[in-house]
């Protein structure tokens, strides 16, 4: 079946209130209507979403908790889309509007600064979202003027027609270890040497990093034991301090009780890509913004690796920044 906004709003209302009657008030319908809609949704999904106790309270099942988390993440974006569509009917998009969508990346601060300095009369806004596929789709539909996305070897993005892309840079993965870990003194670490560790990773998502990570581990002869999920650097650092091992981008927030070390052979690399529409306002200068992002990234990575005590790795990266699992130039010919 296909879930729509009505289903997600129902789950959100029940999850946030913990009560069918309170959810009914929030949705502006009767309690029997909420009960009927929930039962119908559970029947369609083939799984219970909420457990009904002896009191009026309801508690999400594991499946309900999963759907609730996704609904809380997706609904604000969907509702914002609907608002944009409705507002366009009365207020066409102005040419001085620059909307930037981006995944988590160390270059975003510099890109926003460049846009504000280069287009001082424009209203620059940012949408931070970890789904590269969605960001590219929004560029294709002229809902974003620019996007910074990421992809992994073997899981490259399909670029929609009309969208131009340029590779900003390859980005190495860093291992996050407790300061007392036996490997903490090594300058670089092999992924296979961590086969027996407990891992903390970001939640599974449309960028397919979990598939990439597991496939890479399998190719090295082991199945990773992923015991923790963390959405932020702070949460990752907490899990690592408790004994797990994590991964981060090349530039990450430092924690005094953890250390970061690069993986050897450029394994688990990602690359950041700038995207814009060929018929949009950045048709002629999208590459210039990508170049500014590239310079900013190199400066940030050099400083970060020096702080991590990995200056030798920076020297190797600087000598061949396109090395790794891709044999591509920085200018991506896809259009």
Domain segments of the chain as ranges: 5-88, 97-171+270-319, 174-266
User: Whole-model pTM?
Assistant: 0.68
Please give the sequence-ordered ranges of beta strands (E in DSSP) within 27-137, or none if there are none: 50-52, 58-60, 97-102, 123-128
Q: Which pLDDT belongs to residue 6?
A: 85
Assign domain 97-171+270-319 to its CATH superfamily.
Periplasmic binding protein-like II (3.40.190.10)
Closest CA to 317 of 275, 263, 245: 263
Query: Are the C-beta atoms of 245 and 217 separated by less than 8 Å?
Result: no
According to CATH, the topology of domain 5-88 is Arc Repressor Mutant, subunit A (1.10.10)
Q: Which pLDDT belongs to residue 178?
A: 93
Cα Rg of the chain (Å, integer): 23
The dihedral formed by the CA atoms of 8, 13, 15 and 20, expressed in degrees to the nearest 10: -120
Q: Which pLDDT belongs to residue 266?
A: 67
For the chain, what is the total number of helices (H) and then of strands (E)? 10, 12
Tokens of 165: 């892309």
**What is the spatial distance between Cα 180 and Cα 107, in angstroms, rounded to a whole number?**
31
DSSP code at position 175: E
**What is the spatial distance between Cα 72 and Cα 245, in angstroms, rounded to a whole number?**
28
**What is the spatial distance between Cα 92 and Cα 288, in angstroms, rounded to a whole number?**
28
According to CATH, the topology of domain 174-266 is D-Maltodextrin-Binding Protein; domain 2 (3.40.190)
Q: What is the pLDDT along the chain (335 residues), one digit of tens a residue?
A: 577 888 888 988 898 888 888 888 888 888 888 899 999 898 888 889 998 765 668 888 989 888 888 888 888 777 776 666 665 554 444 457 899 999 988 888 889 999 998 888 888 999 998 889 999 999 999 999 999 999 998 889 999 999 999 999 888 888 999 989 999 888 889 999 999 999 999 887 767 888 899 999 999 999 999 999 988 888 888 999 999 999 988 877 666 788 888 888 767 888 999 999 998 889 988 999 999 999 888 888 888 777 777 767 665 665 454 444 444 333 443 43
Do the domains 97-171+270-319 and 174-266 sit in the same CATH topology, yes or no? yes
Closest CA to 305 of 293, 321, 292, 291: 321
| Buried-exposed string 18-53: b where 16+ CB fall within 10 A, e elsewhere | ebbebbbebbeeeeeebeebbeebbeeeeebbbeee
């Amino acid at each position: 079946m296909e879930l729509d906004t009505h289903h997600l709003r129902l789950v959100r209302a029940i999850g946030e209130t913990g009560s069918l009657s309170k959810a009914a008030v929030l949705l502006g319908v009767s309690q029997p209507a909420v009960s009927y809609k929930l039962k119908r949704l559970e029947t369609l999904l083939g799984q219970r979403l909420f457990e009904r106790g002896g009191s009026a309270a309801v508690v999400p099942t594991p499946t309900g908790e999963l759907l609730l988390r996704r609904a809380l993440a997706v609904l604000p974006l969907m509702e914002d889309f609907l608002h944009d569509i409705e507002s366009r009917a009365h207020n066409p998009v102005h040419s001085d509007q620059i909307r930037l969508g981006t995944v988590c990346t160390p270059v975003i601060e510099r890109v926003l600064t460049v846009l504000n300095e280069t287009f001082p009369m424009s209203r620059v806004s940012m949408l931070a979202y970890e789904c590269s596929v969605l960001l590219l789709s929004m560029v294709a539909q002229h809902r974003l003027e620019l996007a910074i996305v990421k992809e992994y070897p073997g899981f490259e993005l399909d670029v929609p027609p009309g969208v131009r892309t340029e590779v900003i840079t390859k980005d190495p993965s860093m291992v996050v270890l407790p300061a007392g870990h036996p490997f903490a003194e090594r300058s670089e670490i092999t992924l296979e040497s961590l086969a027996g560790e407990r891992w903390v990773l970001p939640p599974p998502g449309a960028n397919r990093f979990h598939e990439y990570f597991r496939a890479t581990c399998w190719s090295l002869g082991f199945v990773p034991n992923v015991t923790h999920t963390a959405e932020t650097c702070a949460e990752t650092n907490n899990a690592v301090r408790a004994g797990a091992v994590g991964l981060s981008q090349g530039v990450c927030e430092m924690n005094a009780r953890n250390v970061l070390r690069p993986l050897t052979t450029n394994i688990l690399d990602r690359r950041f890509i700038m995207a814009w529409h060929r018929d949009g306002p950045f048709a002629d200068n999208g590459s210039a913004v990508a170049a500014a992002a590239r310079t900013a990234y190199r400066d940030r990575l050099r400083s970060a690796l020096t702080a991590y005590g990995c200056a030798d790795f920076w020297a190797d990266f600087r000598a061949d920044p396109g090395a790794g699992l891709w044999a591509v130039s920085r200018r991506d010919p896809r259009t």
